[in-house]
Every structure is written in C-alpha cells, then in structure tokens.
Structure 1
C-alpha cells in the first residue's frame, strides 16, 4: 500500500523530487499589486487594498461585513471578546483542532472546555454537545452555567477541520437554546459551504485565516465575517487600537489591539482572491482523484466531504487502520520526499490545557491515532 500511494502521489505532482504538503499558488497579479502598493507608500494598515480585500471576501462569502486582521488567531480573539467572553468564563470547543483555537480563548483568560468531534465531519459533535449541555449545565439569570465548575459558558467554537463543515444547523440551534454565542473557527474553510451557505455565517461571527499554507494566502492575515453591522464596526475599532476616527488627532478611549491587516498583505490577498475559483476547482479535482484511488484499498479511508456540504478540500486526509500503520506510512512517505503529517495532538494532551474539563473524547482519541494529511497543493 505504501509504494502504490507514493507512486500515485508522485504521478499526481509530476514526479517532483520533493512534494510539500501544501504550498501557496501564485499565478495571478500578485507581483503587480505588491509593486503598486509599494509605489503608493501605503504599506501598513491604511490603504486601498485592505478595503478592496474586505469587499472581495464579502462578495465571495455572502457576508454583509468583513474586517481584516493580522492573522486568524487575532480574528478569533476579537470575535470572542465581542461575544462577551471574559476572564474565567468558559468556551466550549473541540480537542481536535489547531492550537490557535485554544490560544485565542486563553488570551482573554477564559478556559476551553472540550467536547468530542464526529468521525464524519472531524468537527464538534452536536450529539456530544447536547448531552453535555443537558446533563451538566443549567440556566441562571439568562446565562449557561457549568454545574461542575460553576463558571459561565459564554461561547461555543466549532472548527471546520481541513475545510469540512461541521453540522452547523444542529450546533446553531443548541447554542441558541442554551444562551451561548456560536463563533465559527472557519480558518481552514474559505470556499466551504453547509447547505449552500458559506461557513462562518451561521453564528454571530466567523473567522478566516490566510496563513501561507491556507487555500489562499496574504502571507499572514485573517478576517472576521459577520452580518451584524454593530459587531463589524466594533471589530474594526478594536483592531485599530481603539482609535477614535479623526483626520489628524490620535485619541483612544479604551485599550485596543494593533490587529489591522497591512495594506501590503491585503494587496497579495486581492490577487489571490481573483484566483480562488480556479484554486477551488483544482483542489476538488485532486480530492476526487485521491478518493477514487483510495477506494480500492480496504485498509485506507479517504475523508470525503460530509453530507449536505461542499468542502474546499484544503488539506486532503486519510484514515489508517491503527497508529502503527500510521507511523509506518509517515516514515515511508517522508523518507521518499513526500510530505505527510499526522493530525494534531489533542488539545487536552498539551501541558497548558491538561487540566481543562473534557467530555467523553472517544472519537477524537480514535482519530488522533489514525489520521494523516497528504499533499494537497494546486497541481
């Protein structure tokens, strides 16, 4: 199985000597826009490309508002603050995620509370979430209280793993019924849809990432998307050092954050957005070829988009029979110049989150032992 997979991936990527997991695709007007930005001298957080990039995200996702930030973690940090999360509050999320999800929660001094994922979506399980909320929380003065810790649960943050949407209808209803804000960590899911609606638009806010390994990149960069005008205005204000708008005076009336995306990065993003439909089409084509190849192997399961979803297939992934086979596969492919990687360590296994409250994490623990990402760059 290892040799067949190595040969297939090499053929897919024109027999390159080294095949990365996911490299950025630059084949548009990136250099032209960057040069134009440099020539304008507006390379920091004020400039036409920031406004244009935000508008392009609005038009593509269907959100009413978009606020660009320096990275996806900053976007999530601000989204959590705007949802009312405070120090010592709790935020429900999944243990199977990139560490940035929990870092953003921790920046506020809040505590992550881990609920299991579904095997189908790799994202937060509505069934496990409902079980926890029904059996371990109560409503008090309009807030959701954790019976075990006594703390207030202010938000729930599903993360759309590898671009595959979570079961957003059920999660949205649960959050609403229990007075919890739904904030989508859509860092990996630009171009992914649940029931024909773009991810990030099912709760109060969603956050995107444009890191160098994402579907499109601005080098760094993130975005808050929302349909709430007041949230958008507040997000822009807080991410711009809480500066009161004025033509020349610098007056700040609260502690803010220097989180606005530089114009130079936004210029790159504008060129990348022009390529996005082509990128998404190419990635879907690659995923379908992988799916057809792996369906012939009993010992491998290719992770396909969940039902009622259109995934962007940011990172393709397979599930192997056990950890021993997974480790052997990782060794064989990487030794052959094909970059593969295991899924993340569970957040509750990391030293800074070991004491966080967790539900039954059976699915997350099962997946942690078996999931491997395989090359997913534009071909």
Structure 2
C-alpha cells in the first residue's frame, strides 16, 4: 500500500539495513575529549568540560546564563522551581508533548492545565491560550487567578514540537498581558531559530534536552537557558543539592536536587556542539527531500517550518489523512525495518492527568492520532 513511500525512505538511508527513527552521530572530537576527561580523573559533576560546555552553549545561543544538568526533564523541573512555581499553583501547557512536560509540573506540586495546539505549528495556540485566559481568569495585584479553582496560574510552558517553532512572540505577549511566567520547553529544538534568535531564549527560562535521540547528545543531559541572573543562580543552587559554597564543609540551606551534568557527558556534548551547525544543515537537506516527495501525496501532508524560522527538523513529521492510514503506514514500515513512530499519547488522556482542567483541545484531538514521525537521523559524515 505504501511501496513508493517506503522505497523513497530507503533511498535516503541507502547504506542502512534497518532505519532507526533518529540515531546519534559521532564524527568529531568525541573520543579525544573523552580520553582527556578520563585522564583528568574528573568524571562526575565537577570538571573543566562542564564549564567549557556551558560557556560554549551560552556563546552559541547568545544566552547570558547556562546551567548544565543531567536531563531536559531536570532542567524543566528546576526552571519551574526557580520561577517560583509551588504547590497550589497551576501551570498551563499543551497536551501534545512528551510526558516529561507535565511531570515536571507535577514534581513541584502544581497542577497542569491543558490548552489546544495551533494546527500549523503543533505547539500551543496563541488564540486558544488568550481565549482560555479571558474566559477563565482574573487579575489581582498583577497575579493571574483561575476563576474555577481560585488558584494562581503562575507559569506557562510552551513546547516547540519536533524542532519547529511555536508562535513564540505572540505567546510571550499573552503571558506578559496576564502576568504569567513563560518557560520554553525547547527539548527538541536545539539549533532551531526564529527570526535568527535561538529557540529557548525568548522566555524567562528555556531548556534543551541532550537525550540519545536528540540532534546532539551526551548520552544524557540538558541545560537551562536564561538572561535572568537571579533565576540562573537559583537554578544552579537547586540543581547542586542546594549546597552552600565552601572549600570542604557540606552545608545545605534548602531542599535541593542532584541534577548536575557529569563531566564525562559534558566532554561528549562539547564535541557534539562543535558539529551542531553541520548537523542542522544536513537535517534541513533531508527535510527538503521529504517535503518535495510528499508535496502531492494523497495520504500525507508534510509539516513545514514558517517563513520566519530556521528549524532543525529534529523529527520530520507528516499528518496522515486519518488514523487508519497512519497506523497502516507505521505497521508496514516496521515490517520493512523502517522505524516510524506516532506522536505521544495526549497528556490530558493519561490516567494521572485525566482530571486536570483543559479546553476543548479540538486541534489536539483531531491531529494527535494522525501524526507520523519519519526517520530523521543525520547523514553527514564530516
């Protein structure tokens, strides 16, 4: 049924007996930096490579402050805490996201509110966000309160889906209007730009993930980005067990977390970051090929970037004409050892979040069962 589509994907990755969704690419200084790290004896959360990676990431993103951590989830949790999110608060986000987005909110004791996505960006819809806030909230002393629950809506997490940009400037303006802290979950958007500015650097805080399936990886890892010095200092303190700096004594002044990135992972990440621009350009070439092939396809629509962005196209994405077509395509591909995947289950439908407040989620429900992610590994060999 999908012979032409699968033959085309095979032609893009001709040397592969099986085609994974997204595999890492190590073609730079990884081995040299790892050897240097091992020789230094500093392989845990203290070491030169952590500092070098933070500095390199700050320079790359033009962010004033970067705090390296052991995962994107950890970075998102700390971003919420450093922004003042607490139990009895509420945090707006989208249902189309990896579970870590909602989990990070839950870790703080706050409750998520799920708002619909934009049909084109697959990220939080500015129209839906403003409509929800106008109908369901009131402002008192420059704080936003939910009329239904009487709780403060403290923050909003937008997720840049699959490396494509949300309508970030519109979302930022809405959050400013309603006195809500905006946080960017840019876990999938390392290397993506909107109007020549790095995604993850528009909000008060943003985060990246460096899990093994991301465009660059340290095997694990994440960072928090911010231009807010107070927030960044708080994030660094909380992510290092809230230890009071001292040459030899171990004293802590609040509940902290052991979230710091290990030096050995930072060594790997530094080498990966050096190749990021090459990886992005390679993935953009792949996206161009997918876009051309699926242009007039009767079963699928390719999800493209807007004119103002330069996406990393982390996972190239199709919208199938219906759920049956999506499922049949994935199943047929897997038989050919081509590992497509569907989107995540909507967060609003997970048992731990099914009772959370939400809007109608029209676009989310319409699209989530039709999304297909295509193999999107870097093919560049240096």
- Whether TM exceeds 0.5 here: the answer is yes
Q: Aligned ranges for residues 256-271 of structure 1 at < 5 Å?
A: 256-271=256-271
Q: Which whole-Å CA distance do the structure 1 matches of 2:355 and 2:283 have between them? A: 39
Q: Which whole-Å CA distance do the structure 1 matches of 2:16 and 2:76 have between them? A: 37
Find runs of 4+ consecutive structure 1 residues off by over 4 angstroms. Answer: none
SS for the counterpart of 1:92 is strand
Residue 204 of structure 1 is matched in structure 2 by 204
Q: Aligned ranges for residues 20-31 of structure 1 at < 5 Å?
A: 20-31=20-31
Q: CA deviation at 1:29?
A: 1.1
Q: Aligned ranges for residues 296-307 of structure 1 at < 5 Å?
A: 296-307=296-307
Asked if structure 1 preserves the Cα contact closer than 8 Å seen for 2:192 and 2:310, the reply is yes
Residue 313 of structure 1 is matched in structure 2 by 313
Q: Aligned ranges for residues 230-245 of structure 1 at < 5 Å?
A: 230-245=230-245
Answer yes or no: is 1:116 the counterpart of 2:119: no
Q: CA deviation at 1:143?
A: 1.2
Q: CA deviation at 1:140?
A: 1.9
Residue 51 of structure 2 is matched in structure 1 by 51
Q: Which whole-Å CA distance do the structure 2 matches of 1:251 and 1:41 have between them? A: 25
Q: CA deviation at 1:141?
A: 2.8
Answer yes or no: is 1:273 the counterpart of 2:273: yes
Q: CA deviation at 1:307?
A: 3.3
Comparing 110-119 with 234-243, which one deviates more in the overlay? 234-243
Residue 145 of structure 1 is matched in structure 2 by 145
Q: Which whole-Å CA distance do the structure 1 matches of 2:335 and 2:299 have between them? A: 21
Residue 324 of structure 2 is matched in structure 1 by 324
Q: Which whole-Å CA distance do the structure 1 matches of 2:109 and 2:224 have between them? A: 21
Q: TM-score w.r.t. structure 1 length?
A: 0.99
Unmatched 5+ residue regions in structure 2?
Answer: none
Residue 218 of structure 1 is matched in structure 2 by 218
In the TM superposition, what whole-angstrom CA distance separates every residue of 1:72-108 from its partner, at most 9, and x where no partner exists? 0000000001111110210000000000000000001
Q: Which whole-Å CA distance do the structure 1 matches of 2:49 and 2:207 have between them? A: 19
Q: Which whole-Å CA distance do the structure 2 matches of 1:362 and 1:296 have between them? A: 26
Q: CA deviation at 1:310?
A: 1.1
Q: CA deviation at 1:235?
A: 1.1
Answer yes or no: is 1:13 the counterpart of 2:13: yes
SS for the counterpart of 2:275 is helix
- Aligned residues, how many? 379
Q: CA deviation at 1:299?
A: 2.3
Asked if structure 1 preserves the Cα contact closer than 8 Å seen for 2:299 and 2:325, the reply is no
Q: Which whole-Å CA distance do the structure 2 matches of 1:198 and 1:15 have between them? A: 33
Q: CA deviation at 1:15?
A: 4.7
In the TM superposition, what whole-angstrom CA distance separates every residue of 1:244-291 from its partner, at most 9, and x where no partner exists? 111112111111111110001000000101111110110000000000
In the TM superposition, what whole-angstrom CA distance separates every residue of 1:145-194 from its partner, at most 9, and x where no partner exists? 11111111000000000010100111101101101000000100011111
Q: Which whole-Å CA distance do the structure 2 matches of 1:181 and 1:136 have between them? A: 17
In the TM superposition, what whole-angstrom CA distance separates every residue of 1:103-147 from its partner, at most 9, and x where no partner exists? 000001110000000011000000000000111100123210111
Q: Which whole-Å CA distance do the structure 1 matches of 2:307 and 2:134 have between them? A: 26
Q: CA deviation at 1:296?
A: 2.9
Q: Which whole-Å CA distance do the structure 1 matches of 2:273 and 2:193 have between them? A: 17
Unmatched 5+ residue regions in structure 1?
Answer: none
RMSD over aligned CA atoms reads 0.9
SS for the counterpart of 1:68 is strand
SS for the counterpart of 1:353 is coil
Q: Which whole-Å CA distance do the structure 2 matches of 1:2 and 1:298 have between them? A: 11
Q: Which whole-Å CA distance do the structure 2 matches of 1:267 and 1:302 have between them? A: 36
Q: Aligned ranges for residues 1-379 of structure 1 at < 5 Å?
A: 2-379=2-379
In the TM superposition, what whole-angstrom CA distance separates every residue of 1:50-86 from its partner, at most 9, and x where no partner exists? 0000011111111011000010000000000111111
Q: Which whole-Å CA distance do the structure 2 matches of 1:257 and 1:87 have between them? A: 17
Q: Which whole-Å CA distance do the structure 2 matches of 1:143 and 1:275 have between them? A: 43
SS for the counterpart of 1:158 is strand
In the TM superposition, what whole-angstrom CA distance separates every residue of 1:11-55 from its partner, at most 9, and x where no partner exists? 100152110000001111111111111111100011000000001
SS for the counterpart of 2:266 is helix
Asked if structure 1 preserves the Cα contact closer than 8 Å seen for 2:83 and 2:231, the reply is no
Asked if structure 1 preserves the Cα contact closer than 8 Å seen for 2:123 and 2:160, the reply is yes
Q: Which whole-Å CA distance do the structure 1 matches of 2:85 and 2:318 have between them? A: 36
